[in-house]
Amino acid sequence: MPRPSKFTQEIAGLICERLANGESLRSICGEDVMPSQSMVFRWLASDEAFREMYARAREAQADTLFDEILDIADDARNDWMEKRSAEGEQVGWQENGEAIRRSQLRIDARKWMAGKLRPKKYGDKLDVEHGGAVRFDRIETVIVDPKHSRPVG
């Protein structure tokens, strides 16, 4: 069966629902029953209602990613592994650095993506405090004629 190329509300709704649930457009469009990514981009360019629905789905995706971050951070199942002697006997536990680094990578990727999808909610906050000294290059005295409200001279 060929990939769908005709826009339908059913396919558009399914794409947006899956995006909102955290799936990538690439994985959705990787299925033979779904349109290609380039077709979805064409639909986005030509259909205002789909563009708005897609934008809302991407915003919801940021919230889903945020929830996934908490799940990943709270999941410690693979953080420790058995330490065995040369004879194969369990002698204790050791940190599973690979699993911990992978979890951190998954968290960082989701934080970055959530910040891009919803920058006001999940983006990095900029510190705009001015800590330097105020410097004046020149001080000027201007005499204003009260009758004409303009500088004299």
* Model confidence pLDDT, tens digit, residues 136-148: 788 887 777 777 6
Place of tokens 């050791």: 94
Query: Which residue, among 25, 31, 114, has the nearest Cα to 67 in the 3D structure?
Result: 114
- Closest to 19 in 3D by CA, of 85, 67, 49, 63: 63
- Global pTM reads 0.71
Where do we find the tokens 């959705």? Answer: 28
For the stretch 53-104, pLDDT in tens is 999 999 999 999 999 999 999 999 989 888 888 898 888 888 999 999 999 9
Report the Cα 143 to chain-centroid distance in Å.
55
Average pLDDT of the chain? 90
- Rounded Cα–Cα distance for residues 59 and 70 (Å): 18
Alpha-carbon distance of 78 to 92, in angstroms, equals: 15
> DSSP for 18-77?
HHHTT--HHHHHTSTTS--HHHHHHHHHH-HHHHHHHHHHHHHHHHHHHHHHHHHHH--T
